[in-house]
Amino acid sequence: MNTGLIMDIGDIRGKGDKELLSDLHDQREALRSARFELAAGRKKNIRAIREIRQTIAKMLTVLAERHRSA
């Protein structure tokens, strides 16, 4: 899992669908956790939330592209 870091689109495209869905689940869980930590005042780095959201968006984009082309 690559929590808090923007994953390269090439890395995302290189993964299979099952691995991508698994990573997507992990990223969503990391986002949920980061939001709770921010709300509780334990997390000061709000940029990490933005980076996780961007990674999720990239993953969803790649999955949608594959679905359209199939």
Tell me the domain boundaries of the chain.
15-69
Task: Report the pLDDT averaged over residues 8-33.
Answer: 96
pTM: predicted TM-score of the whole model, two decimal places: 0.87
Give the tens place of pLDDT for each residue, 51-63.
Answer: 999 999 999 999 9
Spatial separation of the C-alpha atoms in residues 2 and 11, rounded to whole Å: 11
Spatial separation of the C-alpha atoms in residues 36 and 51, rounded to whole Å: 16
Tokens of 33: 């956790």
Give the tens place of pLDDT for each residue, 39-49.
Answer: 999 988 889 99
Spatial separation of the C-alpha atoms in residues 44 and 10, rounded to whole Å: 30
